[in-house]
Structure 1
Amino acid sequence: MLLKINHETRYIYDAPVQYGLQQVRLRPKERPGQEVKSWNIEIDGGKVELSFVDQHCNHVDLISIDRGRTEIAIKCTGEVDNSDGSGIMGSHSGFAPLWYFKQATDLTKPGAETRKLVKALGDDFENDIAKLHALSAAVVEKVAYRTGQTDAETDAETALRVGEGVCQDHSHIFCAAARMLGFPARYVSGYLMMSDRVDQDATHAWAEAYIEGLGWVGFDVSNGYSPDERYVRIATGLDYREASPISGLRFGSGSEDMIVTLQVQQ
C-alpha cells in the first residue's frame, strides 16, 4: 500500500524566542515491509543544525529556532510503500540490547494499578501472542479512549487510576505491564491511515513486545489489533519521551500554542 503523508506542526509563541532547540524525529524508518519512496522536511522559522541516529536507530534532526521569531513550522511530505506483516517486525537490531527494553521509566514505572492489571490477566494462554493480545484488550477495557483527560506527562499508573486516556497512555500501560510479564517492550510513534477520515490532528502511537521465535510484534492497544500496511513507523523508544516526534526547549517567558495538520491517504 502506497501512502501519501502531509504533516505540519506549527508553534506560535506569545513572545519572541531568544533561543530554542527542537529534536525532530519525523523521518520514517526503512525496514522490511516499509520502503520510504520520498520524504522531505521543510523548516520555516528555523534551521537544521545537525542530524544523527540515536540508540534506537531513530533519525533525529536538531533544529534551532531563529532568534526573535514568534512562529516556527515543521512541514513533512512524502510517500511510504508498506506491506502487511501481521504486526511482526522481526528480529532485533540497533544499538540498544534487548535487556534495555525491560527497564521501567518515569512514564512506564509499574505500581499497584499495573500489578492488579497483570494479576487479573491470569496464566491460561495458549502462547505468548495470545497473552499479549489479552493484555492489550485488558488495557483498553480498563482505560477508555477519551481525549482531554491526560497529557504528555501522564504516566501509566496515573492513566490507570483515571480510567481514561489516549493512544499514548494505552501504549505506556502496555509497555509497563508487558515488562512485568518478562517481555522486552517499546513505544512506537508514527502515522495511521484512518478509514473514516483523511484530516487528522495528531500522530499515532502503539507498542511492540519482543517474543522469542517471532521477534518484535506490534500491538495497537487503542484500536484492538496489530499494525498492518496502514501504519508508518517513525520512531521507537522506551516511552513517549524517547520516541516523541518533536521535543525541545526554549529560553524566555511566555506561553506557546501548537497547531497540527495531518493527512494520511492512499
Structure 2
Amino acid sequence: MYLTIRHDTAYRYEATVHYSIQQLRLTPSSGASQTVRRWSIDAPGKLDATFDAYGNVLHTLVLNKPHSEIRLHVSGEIDTIPLVDGLLRDAVGPVPLEHYTCCTRLTEADGAIRELAQSVPLLGSREGLIKLSEAIVERVKYQPGTTDVTSTASEALALGTGVCQDHAHLLLACCRVRGFPARYVSGYIEPGEAPQAASHGWVDVWLDAGWISVDVTRAAFASEAYCRLAAARDYEAAAPVRGRRIGGLEEKLNVTVSVSALAPQ
C-alpha cells in the first residue's frame, strides 16, 4: 500500500519562551515492512540527526532565541508491505529481548493487570494475543480525552476508558507479566472508516516466529495500512515529540494528521 502522510504540530505559548529543546521521532526507517519513498521535516531551526538506543531516527531541535510558537510540518510517502498475521521480518534489533520484559512506570502491573494477563491461557500464540486485545478493549472503552500521555496502564484499566496508547500499555504490561518481550510502536495508520485518529500506537510481541505486530485498539494484526515511526519499551521512549522549555507559561497545542492511500507511483 502506498501511503501519503501529513503531520502538522503547532505549539503556542502564553508568554515568551527563552529556550526550548525538542526531541523528534518523526522519521520512519525503511525495513522489512516498509520502504520510505520521500520524507521531510520542516522546523524553525536546525535539526541534528542521530539514532537513539532503540535504533529509531532521532532529531533534536534547540531554539536559543526568544519565541512564542513552534511549528513542525512533516510530510512523506511510504510504500508498505503486507504482513502475514502481523509477522515482521525484522531482526531482534539493537536492544536485547530481555529489555522488553521489564516493566516501566507506564506499564507496571498491579493486581488487576495480573488477573487480566492470566485470563488468556494461550497468550504465547497469535490467537491468544488477539483474545487478550479483545479483553482489553472490552474493559477499557475507546474514549479520547479521559487519559493523557502520563496515564499508566493500571490507571486506564481502573478508569475503564482510554485511547490506543492506553490499550498498548495494557498489552505490554500483560505480556511482561507472562514473560513475553513486548515493545511499544508509534506511527500512523490509514484509518478508513474507523473513528480513531491517523496518529496511532500499537505493540510488537516476540513469539517463537519473531515480532508479531498487534493493533490492540482494533484487536487485529497490524497490516500494510500502518507506517512505523519508532519502537521502544513504552510511549515515553517512543513519543513522536518530547520537549522542555524555559518560560512560556501555559501552552496551546494543535495537531493535525492525515494519512491516505495512493495508487503506487
* TM-score range relative to shorter protein: over 0.9
Please point out which of 129, 141, 144 is paired with 1:147.
144
Contact preservation (8 Å) 1:9, 1:260: yes
Partner residue in 2 for 1:2 = 2
Contact preservation (8 Å) 2:100, 2:183: yes
Contact preservation (8 Å) 2:124, 2:207: no
Partner residue in 1 for 2:88 = 89
Q: 2 CA distance for matches of 1:243 and 1:98?
A: 17
1:232 aligns with 2:231: no
Contact preservation (8 Å) 1:200, 1:262: no
Q: 2 CA distance for matches of 1:126 and 1:238?
A: 19
Q: Give structure 1 stretches of 5+ with no counterpart.
A: none
Residues 101 and 17 (structure 1), Cα distance of their counterparts in 2 relative to 1, 3 Å cut:
same
Percent identical among aligned pairs is 36
Partner residue in 2 for 1:157 = 154
Partner residue in 1 for 2:258 = 263
Residues 131 and 39 (structure 1), Cα distance of their counterparts in 2 relative to 1, 3 Å cut:
same
Q: Give structure 2 stretches of 5+ with no counterpart.
A: none
Contact preservation (8 Å) 1:17, 1:252: yes
Aligned pairs for 1:106-145 (under 5 A) are 106-121=105-120, 123=121, 125=122, 128-145=125-142
Partner residue in 2 for 1:210 = 206
Spell out structure 1 runs of 4+ moving beyond 4 A. Answer: 199-202
Please point out which of 215, 220, 223 is paired with 2:218.
223
Q: 1 CA distance for matches of 2:187 and 2:146?
A: 22
Partner residue in 1 for 2:60 = 62
- Post-superposition shift, 1:89? 1.2
Q: Secondary structure at the match of 1:194?
A: coil
Count of residues paired in the alignment: 260
Q: 1 CA distance for matches of 2:107 and 2:221?
A: 21
TM-score by length of 2: 0.94
Contact preservation (8 Å) 1:19, 1:65: yes
- Post-superposition shift, 1:33? 2.6
TM-score by length of 1: 0.93
- Post-superposition shift, 1:137? 1.0
Q: Secondary structure at the match of 1:108?
A: coil
Contact preservation (8 Å) 1:25, 1:58: yes
Partner residue in 1 for 2:74 = 76
- Post-superposition shift, 1:29? 2.0
